[in-house]
Chain A
Amino acid sequence: DIQMTQSPSSVSASVGDRVTITCRASQGISRWLAWYQQKPGKAPKLLIYAASDLQSGVPSRFSGSGSGTDFTLTISSLQPEDFATYYCQQGISFPITFGQGTRLEIK
């Protein structure tokens, strides 16, 4: 199985800050990576697919980059509605696996 490791596990930030979350795969996954946002009591929401493609309807302050084993999700200017948990997920091989999540909290 491909292991996905996110860092940090949690981060505190303020509205307007720039935040970067990283995700590392245990082996190369090309650009077969997706990012999700999950708010309490809600289903995850797809933000980014194919490492850097923005899902329709997702604000442009979200961006993704990387290929191979190292990936990043960046939020350029945090908004109040962005405080949530973020997950990465590899889709190159089965079993599909997720990172453990990064909790983004208000400072």
Chain B
Amino acid sequence: QLQLQESGPGLVKPSETLSLTCTVSGGSISSSSYNWGWIRQSPGKGLEWIGNIFHSGSTSYNPSLKSRVTISVDTSKNRFSLKVSSVTAADTAVYYCVRHYGSGFDYWGQGVLVTVSS
């Protein structure tokens, strides 16, 4: 059974960089059938797609965050990562890593709450 697990600091200071890692178990991140991504949910709010990394290694980011976001993959460790620079309180959210297949996201991590505060 495929599992995704987010890890990283739960508290980040304003203007600093948020860094999260998603470790994939029970399957290979290198499979050409799937892409991988990040989605966030601000407290009490809806879902916001942050970006994807494709099996080719290319990426696509939400324009609302594009200049601040980097998604990368480490196939040797079967994991992928998210960096969001110059964070503000508006970046406080639960961050989910996901597997993207076809029209939807079929596997989700449990989510990690990241709070931006000094």
Which residues of A are in contact with B by a Cβ distance under 8 Å? 1, 31-34, 36, 42-46, 49-51, 55, 87, 89, 91-92, 94-101
Contacts and interface: CB of A to CB of B under 8 A. Distances in A.
Contacts, number: 62
The binding surface of chain B is classed by DSSP as: strand
Dominant secondary structure of chain A at its interface with chain B: loop
Interface residues on B, range: 20 to 34
Contacts of B109: 43
B108 interface: yes
A101 B46 contact: yes
A49 B102 contact: yes
Given A43-B110, A95-B62, A50 B103 contact: yes
B117 interface: no
A94 B60 CA distance: 7
Contacts of B46: 87, 98-101
22 contacts: A1-B63, A32-B103, A33-B103, A36-B47, A36-B105, A43-B109, A45-B108, A46-B104, A46-B106, A49-B102, A49-B103, A49-B104, A55-B104, A55-B106, A89-B47, A89-B104, A91-B104, A94-B62, A95-B63, A95-B64, A98-B47, A101-B46
Contacts of A49: 102-104, 106
A87 to B, nearest CB: 6
Nearest to B107: A46
A31 B48 contact: no
Given A87-B47, A95-B63, A43 B103 contact: no
Contact of A50 (B60, B63, B96, B102): B102
Contacts of B96: 43-44
